[in-house]
Amino acid sequence: MGKEELQSKLTAIFQKTFNDESLELSDELTANDVENWDSLSHMILIAEVENSFSIKFKLKDLNKMRNVGDMLNIIESKL
Amino acid sequence: MVFTSLNFLIFLPVVMLLFYITPVKYRWLTLLISSYFFYINIKPIYALLSGGITVSTYVFTRLIDKTPDDNKKRILMILNVIIILLPLLFFKYFAVINNELILLLDDWHLRWPLPEMRYILPIGISYYTFMCIGYTIDVYNEEIEAEKNIGIVALFVSFFPLILSGPIERAKNMLPQFRDFQRINYDDLVKGMQLMLWGFFMKLVVADRIAMYVDVVYGNIESYSGNSLLLAAILYPFQVYADLGGYSLIAIGVSKVLGIRVIDNFKRPFFATTMAEFWRRWHISLITWLTDYLYTPLSFSLRKWGLWGIILALELTFLISGIWHMASMTMVVWGLLQGTFLSIEAVTSKRRTKFEGKYSLSNKKWYMLLSMMFTFILFAISQVVGRVDTVGESWMVFRKIFSEWGSFYLDMTTLFYAFIGIVIIILKDFIDEFFPERINFFTNKRVWVRYSSYLTVAFVIILFGVLEGNSFIYFHF
Amino acid sequence: MTAKAFFIRGVVLICIFFFVDFIISLFLVEGLKKYYGINDSPNVLINGSSMAMNGFNRDAISKRSGKKVASYSLEGVGLGERYEMISHFYQTNSNVEKVIFEVSPVIFESSSLSKNIYTIFYPFMDAKNMDTYIYNRAPIKDYLVHKFIRCSRFDSRLMRLIIMGFMGNFDNMKTNELSGDEIADDKIGFVSIPYDETKKDIFGETMNLIEANGSDVILVMMPMYKAKYLSFNPNEYTQLSDYFRNFCLNRKGFTFIDLNRKELIENTKNFSDEVHLNVNGQDEVTKMIIPYLQ
């Protein structure tokens, strides 16, 4: 899966989870920039990502996700 | 020694002087000695406990750092968490559980082998235990390296501005500052003193004044009518905010005059429009701690159950938060209530966003005000349970509020001062929330505005503060 | 900010603080003195504890007798404190004709005062005798703080009195009425009247002080609701009132009045509790006391 494809798939997950169809992802995007992205929806997001990409995160991976860019890298490393 | 005592007002300048004349390399030692002096002044035996926790944390974090094997690391981490939790569990819960068992078994005419126990909870233990757990887990997660100087770890555990009541700091923020002290910064000195002044105002003028009414009514629920109880229930959240919020400001201010940056603990909580937002503004250092070390691992391991897993994680987190505050059934209910409020909000979140979008409510002023009031009411309800002694009493309070109105207990002088105090605090928060940088008193460009604000607040504290007695509500948590 | 600027500003601020502190405290103490009426060269001084505070209506007595009246009474004070109050009073007042001095069956009690009773004198700490009194009793730290930070001598409770002082409102009226219970027979005469010699000496000294300042004295045995009154040992009560009566006979210008009169103490409408008169009782007492002031 190429980086482009990965990002568009992730964008769809974000849009669905945060209920915002205009949401665009960038590497620097953090939880502070997105309405409703709090510790509750974050875990739903994580579960969605794991299901769609059929991967499993570790707790340590979670601590390393500071922004969307980090998340993309971690997903990529698991595929 | 408490912040509001005369002794502290002598202690602090002495410590500041000693701190700033010590060469930078040895400042940690000056602070460490001062901190132990401060803690020993309350009760000498407590120092043994914080010392023990320090040694255990130091040894284990160093071991974790040196061990390459991940499983062994994990075992070491868990071992230390258990060891440093033991005193907290013992002092906070063992006596309570044991005494409950004695009573329970007595009812069935059975003898429980252990005698009744009465220990005083070592002040601050709940706070520094959490700080040490956080530090240990951070080292395990390789987010920070274990500190090699045991003196600095000891200072982290016992740093006197934070030891009694927080904010619950992180090793990641504190250790680098303790290793390398900044040169004296006079702007920080001024800022720190401003924070302390406002903290003293919140605590002595507002919190302790409200307490005079609330304590009387909650002290004798049976004999007060529903309307008096309702007033007390509305006042109590303001009391706790002024109390712990004011206390935190003093702690942050004291740290600042020593050049140490400490995280904020409250961010204008009563302007939150949802419970989730409220908990991002209320006792922030505790909530972020719980989020990082309890909620995240819990919800992560329960995530396959989707929303229900998250709800379960929420309930458990707040349940533990409740029990951390106090070992009692009421705090169990309090925790479950918070979890439930947040869960309901999470479940209905999508629908609410849609509804608000449809009528474009989210930026309407009246809708915001209504949401703030609703959030306040939910919190006030939970605080009724948090304030009373037994769950049965909280039912009595709610029953009376809804059905038994009678003669209104109005201690006019107290209520008058309390009301003025609340208005001032809320007004200040209002300005900071909606017009930051627009209206300034302490930070005004004009010297005379700044000075008259300082003097006004100082004289209000001297003349209207509740200055005799009364320690902080949160001390024994 | 530079170190120099910081320290200069700090010193300036501290100087302003002490200046403002001084001004505010002068203003507050003035209000308090007005409330007690002790800076007004009064002709009559009422002195006592809460019994006198609730028992005498300063305004009414002043109107009916045509004399300026001061009511320098404080809750919870004993004879020792009252000696200091009267001595403090005479430092600034010299034309007092009569002193109405509260007495009660427990006046010679050895000590039932609260330990920090001295705190009520903080506002008057500038007076030499009050300063000594506080210095001898308060912890040194408390003493110093109140000595140097003058506004710390006042608290929110006093603010009400100060405002009342400036507004010329001296009422201290309780309006509730006692729901009096009859006294059980076995309780009659049960309570012994305390009689501490050192207290009696202080009483004597106080009387000498008043006499030396050229004022007459009216010793007033304050009324108690009958259930309370009857609980005292009747023989001892007679002994005590004889003591006061004889004390007054031996001195020129001294009078003793016992207000425990049947018509007053049997009526629950006169009391807010067993030992404190309410607004009706005040009215009765005023009528009784006026003839003695002429």
Q: What is the pLDDT of residues A9-39, one digit of tens each?
A: 888 888 888 877 888 888 888 888 887 788 8
Q: Which subunits count as partners of chain B given 3+ CB pairs below 8 Å?
A: A, C
Looking at chain A, which subunits does it touch, using at least 3 CB pairs closer than 8 Å as the criterion?
B
Tokens of B357: 């979008």
Residue B109 in this model has a pLDDT that exceeds 50? yes
Average pLDDT over residues B328-356: 88
Mean pLDDT of B10-20: 94
Determine the pLDDT at residue C182: 63
Chain B partners within 8 Å of A38 (Cβ): 276, 280
pLDDT band at B27 (very low <50, low <70, confident <90, very high): very high
Q: Where are the domains of chain C?
A: 3-293
Instruction: Mutate one of A22, A39, A60 to test the B interface: name it (highest B CB count within 10 A).
Output: A39
Q: In the predicted model, what is the mean pLDDT of residues B350-371? A: 85
Tens-digit pLDDT profile for residues B58-101: 999 999 999 989 899 999 999 999 999 998 888 888 777 777 77
Residues in B closer than 8 angstroms to C156, CB to CB, are 413, 417, 463-464, 466
Phi/psi for C105 (5° steps) reads -60, -25
Q: Is B442 exposed, middle or buried (0-12, 13-18, 19+ CB in 10 A)?
A: middle
User: Do the Cβ atoms of B304 and A47 come within 8 Å?
Assistant: yes
Quote the minimal CA–CA distance from B276 to chain A in Å: 9
Among B1, B5, B186, B407, the residue to mutate for chain C (most C Cβ within 10 A): B186
Q: Shortest Cα distance from A32 to chain B (angstroms)?
A: 12
Residues of chain A contacting residue B313, judged by C-beta atoms under 8 Å apart: 43
pLDDT cut 70: percent of chain C above it: 96
d(CA B450, CA B443): 7
Residue B458: closest CA among chain C residues belongs to which residue?
C17
Q: Residue A40: closest CA among chain B residues belongs to which residue?
A: B310
Decide which of B326 and B473 is more confident: B326
Shortest alpha-carbon distance between residue B187 and chain C (Å): 6
Provide the 8-state DSSP code for B469.
S
> Got the DSSP string for B255-292?
HHHTT-----S-S-GGG-SSHHHHHHHSSHHHHHHHII
pLDDT digits (tens, 9 = 90+) for B143-181: 899 999 999 999 999 999 999 888 999 999 999 999 988
Instruction: Report whether B374 contacts B207 (CB < 8 A).
Output: no
- How much is the average pLDDT of B210-223? 92
Chains C and B touch (3+ CB pairs under 8 A): yes
In angstroms, the first-to-last Cα distance of chain B is 17
Over residues C87-95, mean pLDDT: 90
Distance from CA of B346 to the nearest CA of A (A): 7
Using pLDDT thresholds of 50, 70 and 90, give the confidence band for residue B117: low
Query: What is the pTM assigned to this prediction?
Result: 0.89
How many angstroms separate the CA of residue C155 from the nearest CA in chain B?
5
pLDDT digits (tens, 9 = 90+) for C201-219: 999 999 999 999 999 999 9
- pLDDT of B474 reads 41
Q: Say how far apart CA C123 and CA C29 lie, in whole Å.
A: 6
Strand C271-273 with C276-277, pairing = antiparallel
Dihedral sign from CA coordinates of B100, B104, B106, B111: negative
Would you call B354 and A19 a contact, using CB atoms and an 8 Å cutoff?
A: yes
**What is the radius of gyration, based on Cα positions, of chain C?**
22
In this structure, of B110-114, C124-128, C271-275, the range with the lowest mean pLDDT score is: B110-114
- Decide: C99 and C218 in contact? Cβ < 8 Å: yes
> What number is the ipTM of this complex?
0.86
* Residue A59 to residue B300, Cβ atoms within 8 A: yes
Partner B contacted by C22 (CB < 8 A): no
What class is the C3-293 domain?
A: alpha beta
Domains observed in chain A = 3-78 (1.10.1200.10)
DSSP string, C69-103: EEEEE-TT--HHHHHHHHHHHHTT-----EEEEEE
pLDDT of residue A33: 80
Query: pLDDT tier at B473 (50, 70, 90 boundaries)?
Result: very low
Chain B residues in contact with A54 by the CB 8 A cut-off are none
Over pLDDT 70: what percentage of chain B?
96
Mean pLDDT over C69-82 rounds to 89
CA distance A60 to chain B (A): 7
